Chains A and B, each alone.
Chain A
């Protein structure tokens, strides 16, 4: 009986400890990063034909995921717009601040929430929908705070039942896909790598996509696989991307990055480190 008290005490103390919600672990995005490392292929007359022949399919792909692209990049903007990265903990009651420490502060409407290492944020954004306010679906993105530079550079989440109407043709889009984002520098949140993997339904027809793009310097870079297992990067003007209707819309102003450098293209062909190549 007497020793039962000790057992009861230990049990009670264990039960009182908080469960401790642990920060989620970001997914591995190395494959996404590898997609946009220095391309190994070369732009030649032959590979230029491969680019042209697949560009129309890429145009379809971009048109299908464009609404989710806009929502995803907008979510990053909303996240970085409300979260300020601050180095150094503020001094409390005159005590010395920890110069080695750091904190993130989430600010909105005068509310400031400190998040130290081990914290994370989840941003949820309702999609535009098709008209029924109760069936719009949403995207959710998670970002984890780290001790080195504020947020970890990987954000991830998913679009679930996310509905939108395409502006160009009024097509009804529905997204059920996983989203991965790599933001190397939160000071420039518009420069990021993005992967959308899952189902995109356009007017009832569902297609599976593994769409990867890198946004930088006003362009969206897509990876172009070549037959030899090598790849090129196609840089499309981000402003024109949403409105592109034809192959010509994409070719005019296209940038191609290959192992030699960057090529600038128009409706006739490309000019770059290897000279001129016609389509």
Chain B
């Protein structure tokens, strides 16, 4: 192969996936992370950070694996609801549930504060040419924190953060194995609503309960991040490596970190 001529040629050959078996990859099993595509019927995905299963050719279930180590239960269902021509439209509904008292090794008097997150995302992908896919998404996430039943405390609070977000991605294939992916997320708005109360004892006969009810719209600050990555897809093994910058979006709860920073992108999984 001509790509082996010299070290740069070798590197280019590795990146573009000219070595290794060439079966069904990007074109047959399109990436599902940043698009409206779903896993194939009966297809499994197992990886470092995600696992998934294609229930049918239009419906998949996925879960983030690492959060389970902290007893963060999470599951999402994504359905490709419409596929007219070069387009695919999908809806994705997730559920995340966590409570600090369920943390491994948590003591019996650990606080009981259920946290529930529900992200809903609408995806659209346009496939105008064999080597190009453009995807967009609009998402809405509500994360509710319930501290109304904290034992041995006079604090009671219920709060919810709702976030609206948009995402765009461009995937360009340089072959059946390698694709470059440019992906961006931007927060459209963020709203925090909290109701809470604290009871204090003024003296032995008098208590004062302070109730707070706040509704804060934090959507004025622009937050987002962009990632450029390379995606390798062999017959079963897939690897995505890249680098991003910006207000990192925490998966599942879609919280955009207030301060921007450089964040590596890494996904490693098998599809079979």
B-binding residues in A (CB < 8 A):
1-3, 5-6, 8-10, 12-13, 16-23, 75, 78-79, 81-83, 106, 108-109, 111, 113-116, 118-126
Contact = CB atoms under 8 A, between A and B. Distances in A.
Return the 9 tightest CB-CB contacts between A and B, nearest first. Answer: A9-B120, A2-B81, A16-B142, A126-B205, A9-B93, A108-B200, A118-B213, A119-B212, A125-B206
7 contacts: A2-B81, A5-B91, A13-B120, A22-B213, A81-B202, A108-B208, A125-B205
B202 A108 contact: yes
Given A3-B81, A82-B202, A108-B202, A12 B93 contact: yes
A119 B213 contact: yes
Contacts of B213: 20-23, 118-119
* Majority-rule SS of B interface residues: strand
A108 B160 CA distance: 28
Contacts of B142: 13, 16-17
B118 A119 contact: no
Contacts of B95: 12
Interface string B189-224: 000011100101111011111111111000000000
Nearest to A138: B205
A21 B118 contact: no
B252 interface: no
B211 A23 contact: yes
B207 to A, nearest CB: 5
Contacts of A126: 205-206
A5 B211 CA distance: 37
Nearest to A116: B214
A12 B120 CA distance: 9
A79 B208 CA distance: 8
Contacts of B193: 17-18, 20
B269 interface: no
A205 to B, nearest CB: 27
A108 B206 CA distance: 12
Contact of A120 (B59, B77, B144, B211): B211
Chain A contact surface mostly: mixed
Contacts of A13: 118, 120, 140, 142
Contacts of A111: 198, 200
Given A81-B202, A106-B210, 16 more contacts: A2-B81, A8-B93, A9-B118, A13-B120, A17-B144, A17-B160, A18-B195, A23-B211, A78-B206, A108-B208, A109-B200, A114-B212, A116-B212, A121-B208, A123-B206, A123-B207
Contact of A16 (B118, B195, B215): B118
Contacts of A23: 211, 213
A118 B214 contact: yes
Contacts of A1: 79
A150 B77 CA distance: 48
A5 B93 contact: yes
Contacts, number: 121
* Contact-residue bracket for chain B: 35 or more
Q: Which residue, of B209, B211, B214, B215, has the highest number of chain A Cβ atoms within 10 A?
A: B211
B116 interface: yes
Contacts of B93: 5, 8-9, 12
Question: Which residue, B59, B140, B203, B213, has most C-beta atoms of chain A within 10 A?
Answer: B213
A125 B212 CA distance: 21
Contacts of B81: 2-3, 5
Contact of A6 (B91, B202, B211, B212): B91
Contacts of B206: 75, 78, 123-126
B159 interface: yes
A119 B208 CA distance: 13
Nearest to A129: B205
B244 to A, nearest CB: 25
B58 interface: yes
B172 to A, nearest CB: 29
B87 to A, nearest CB: 15
B158 interface: yes
A125 B95 CA distance: 44
Nearest to B212: A119
B194 A78 contact: no
